[in-house]
Structure 1
Amino acid sequence: MAHTNSNIAAETLILAGIRGPAIFRVPFVRRRIRVNLTYKIAALAGVAAVLSGPAYAADPIRIALFGFAADNAFTLASLEGLKEAAKEAGDVEIELFDGAFDADRQFNQIQDAVASGRFNGMLILPMGYSSAVPAAEEAIKAGIKFGSLEYPLGPDPTTTDKFQVMGMTTFVGYNVGSIGLRLAEATVEACQGRDPCKVALLVGSRSAAQDVPKIEAFNKHIAEHPSIKLVSTQDTLWGRELGLKVTQDVLQSNPDLDVITSFADQAAAGAEVALTGAGMNVGGEGIQLIGLGATQTAVAAIRQGRWYGTYVELPYMEGYLGGKNIIAAMRGQEFEPIIDLETRSPVGAAIATKTNLNAHPDWSSKWDG
């Protein structure tokens, strides 16, 4: 998962109404302090159901989305998916809370939202696996349907086949250990025919909760291949600028680098700038780049043969499926509580490569950063 910022402008929501379309403009605020964004979505079919029978409760479903940050591309893609689920269901309100990449702030936001009594559904993009658990338990105790996106809540981020917090409604996301393993497997493939094969690993942060299990899984698999030499591991904070800078530094001592594997497409994009700036070839017989996220930038680079691959993340689908599950739970409908999105890759594999992208020419990424 990449923590990056995107420019945000006023967004137009076109909502179907009985007398024709009504346009609501909801301004986004760039500042990170006290930003709550509310979207009330009433689809025509939903309005009809409210008027014609008891299928819907008298009060609408109100879902709080606790995001990484209000101006974060991953959060906004998840929000778009959640909005689509709400539009399909009808009579659903959504409110986005700006976590500002602060676990304590996110914890307090959940507690305050529970105390407000305004929400009957909550979804979180957790800043930490365990830090939000007590607040989530408060929400569940209050009768709120609670779900986690991207990462599971609980002490073990590699456990995704069962809930670690009693009473959770849904989890839609990934096993972080599997992410590290898949990236390592892709690195081994990219090293084929190169002995030795020198690899640099660009992580978000070696101390970040979401990166530690990835690093462990990556290093364990790479260690099984003696021809591969991991020459450097660098923090990039999942960003383009640091990705560029640390790659420049790595090249000073390792000009014969073979592969750069990154825990964020954004950092990989920065690495590519550093490589081309140093006059080095990227792709083909040159240095291989592997990212994480399947952003539009990464997918385009892979299709063009510049990058080797990227781990496929689907933030839009996280919000969409998580929202559908919360809504289904509140309406007494059947749903799949736990969804491991690695098994639902639109290109048929965890890592998008030129080969499997060519086999799925109509697929396109729904996010960038």
Structure 2
Amino acid sequence: MAAGCSDPNDGEKKSEGKNAKHIAFFGFAKANSFTVATFDGVKQQAGKSGATAEFFDSAFDAQLQVRQIQDAVTAKRFGVFVVQANDGTAVFPAVRAAVREGIAVVVQFTPVGTRYDTEQPQVPGAVSLVDVPARNGRRLGELGAAACASRKAKSCEVAYLEGMKTLPLDNARTQAVVSTLKNSPGVKVLPTVEGGYTKDSGRKAMQDVLQAHPDVQVVLGSSQALLGAEGVARGKKILYVGNGASRQAVAAVREGRWFGIPYLPVRTAGAKAAELGLAKAAGQNVPAAVDMASLVPDEGRLTKATLPGVTGEYDE
């Protein structure tokens, strides 16, 4: 689960003058249910530890998030940062500055840096608790290949509704998905279409896919996009693999509408991030890196056969 340990004094200043039990949470957006669920986990763990937590809403604005982190470093009110980066490259200097000021920084869900194939922290002294994009893409591709195999056909057309072409993280994920599918017997990978992270973008992407490839048999994409795509493809025998872990996504698998999802316990991960940050701020040695997929069995590959006991930890 972890590689190495994070020394609480990895070249940064002592955290004198800061409130070691005050957590700053820099999330994607308050309007995003995934982010809210993560913060709920942070708050829950903070409460158990006699700590407090404050949400900084960047509303998916990478540059606003950079300024928020910079201002929080200057304010010297927080002993712990939990950073859910909109753009891991953009926030890198601000996160590095926070570590150097003696703040215990936990990079949560998205990597901070330019590499998307490792859970190892790219900012020396930070703690990393991320879902490695390249591995997430591999799991998506493996579930897509398994969905194809379940059809027992000689050839199987698969469409991937990728996230956003402008995001390096999504590009790394897409490369892993496509590579995994292409190396799977009997799978024909269709050209990728941008599906985004909303029902509306998923509907539009699915319309484009069906117009060009009406016989598509398996469709992969974000859970939000697939919830929109389903309505467009109503009546067609398509197997879906969603990238998300909401209660709605779990229900879709349970009902047989979707073949499977890579499942992550979002609220649990938020609590784990707070636990790691508070322990580091208290001067304890903690794991330097934790892959979020290690928090669940089989790296979270969830199908109808592996559903018992899983309900999801947030709503779309």
Same fold (TM over 0.5): yes
1:93-104 equivalence runs, <5 A: 93-104=52-63
1:355, 1:362 → 2: CA distance? 11
1:194 matched residue in structure 2: 153
1:240-259 equivalence runs, <5 A: 240-259=199-218
Percent of matched pairs sharing the same residue: 32
2:309 matched residue in structure 1: 362
Give 1:226 shift: 5.8
Give 1:95 shift: 1.0
Which of structures 1 and 2 has the bigger CA Rg? 1
Question: CA 1:139–1:203 in 2, change beyond 3 Å: closer, same or farther?
Answer: same
Give 1:59 shift: 5.0
Partner of 2:169, secondary structure, is coil
Any gaps of 5 or more consecutive residues in structure 2? Answer: 1-16
Aligned residues: 298
**2:46–2:52 CA contact under 8 A, matched in 1:** yes
1:63 matched residue in structure 2: 23
1:85 matched residue in structure 2: 45
Structure 1 counterpart of 2:229, from 266, 271, 277: 271
1:152 matched residue in structure 2: 111
Higher helix share: 2
Kindly report structure 1 stretches of 4+ aligned residues shifted beyond 4 Å: 57-60
1:330 matched residue in structure 2: 281
Question: CA 1:59–1:239 in 2, change beyond 3 Å: closer, same or farther?
Answer: closer
1:319, 1:299 → 2: CA distance? 19
1:201-350 equivalence runs, <5 A: 201-225=160-184, 227-262=186-221, 264-276=222-234, 279-280=235-236, 286-345=237-296, 348-350=298-300
RMSD (Å) for aligned C-alpha atoms:
1.7
Give 1:349 shift: 4.2
Give 1:163 shift: 2.0
1:352 matched residue in structure 2: 302
Q: Which amino acid aligns with 1:231?
A: L
**Cα deviation code 1:104-143 (max 9, x no counterpart):** 1111110111111111111110112221110011111111
1:175, 1:341 → 2: CA distance? 8
Partner of 2:286, secondary structure, is coil
Question: CA 1:198–1:336 in 2, change beyond 3 Å: closer, same or farther?
Answer: same
Give 1:268 shift: 1.0
1:167 matched residue in structure 2: 125
- TM-score normalized with structure 2 length: 0.90
Give 1:199 shift: 1.1
2:244, 2:30 → 1: CA distance? 19
Higher relative contact order (Cα pairs below 8 Å, separated by 6+ residues): 2
2:294, 2:19 → 1: CA distance? 36
Partner of 1:232, secondary structure, is coil
Give 1:220 shift: 1.4
Asked if 1:182 is matched to 2:142, the reply is: no
**2:18–2:77 CA contact under 8 A, matched in 1:** no
